[in-house]
Amino acid sequence: MPYRICKTIEIENGHMLARHPDNCRFPHGHSRKVELVLEADELDANGMVCDFKAVKEAVGGYLDQFDHALCINTEDPMFETLRQAYGERVIPFEKTDPTTEVLARTFFDACGKLLAEYASRTDAAYHLARGVRLVRVRVWETSSSWAEFENSSSDPSR
C-alpha cells in the first residue's frame, strides 16, 4: 500500500452557474479548501512522500489565479461584460458551468501536470520524486459540502 499525504490550499473564489434553476445562477462566492492527495510507493531520503512546500511551490501560483476571481460559463449572457470589466479575474469555462465538480477535475488535471513538471526540474528548492503521483483533488465549497476528482487510471504520470 502506498504512502499518502494531503496538502490543503485555501482560496476565496466565486462562480456563477448559468444552468442552475435557483440562486446559484447569480454571482456568489465560497471560501474553498483545495485538498491535493499525493502518493508514493516509497519514502524519499527524508522519510517523506515529499515536502509539503514542494506541493505549494509547484501548484500555488496556478491556484492563486482562482483566488478572488469569478469562474463563469462562456455561454452566460454576462460573460463578455464581466470579462471586459474585470479582465483576468473572470475565468472562462468553455461552454460549461464551473461547478465544484468541474473545478475539482480542472484542478486535478492542471496540478498533475504542474507537479510532474516540478519533479523534472533540477533547480527546484524542494525535491519531488518522479514517482510521486497526484491521486485525488477534493474541493470544499462550504464547511459541509465538497466534490472530488480521483485518478482512476493506471497511468502513474497523471
Q: Which CATH superfamily is domain 3-150 in?
A: 6-pyruvoyl tetrahydropterin synthase/QueD (3.30.479.10)
Q: What is the pLDDT of residues 61-102, one digit of tens each?
A: 999 999 999 999 999 999 999 999 999 999 999 999 999 999
**Cβ-based neighbours of 14, under 8 Å, separated by 6 or more:** 27, 28, 29, 30, 69, 70, 71
Pairing of strands 28-40, 133-142: antiparallel
E strand segments, the chain: 3-15, 28-40, 69-73, 90-93, 133-142, 145-150
Q: What is the pLDDT of residues 94-144, one digit of tens each?
A: 999 999 999 999 999 999 999 999 999 999 999 999 899 999 999 999 999
| pLDDT value at 156 more than 60 | no
Domain ranges of the chain: 3-150
**Cβ-based neighbours of 152, under 8 Å, separated by 6 or more:** none
Instruction: Give the model's pLDDT for residue 153.
Output: 62
Q: What is the pLDDT of residues 22-34, one digit of tens each?
A: 999 999 999 999 9
- Could you tell me the pTM of the whole model? 0.93
- The helix (run of H) or strand (run of E) holding residue 62 is helix 52-64
Q: What is the pLDDT of residues 33-57, one digit of tens each?
A: 999 999 999 999 999 999 999 999 9
Question: With contact defined as beta carbons under 8 Å apart, do 129 and 40 qualify?
Answer: yes
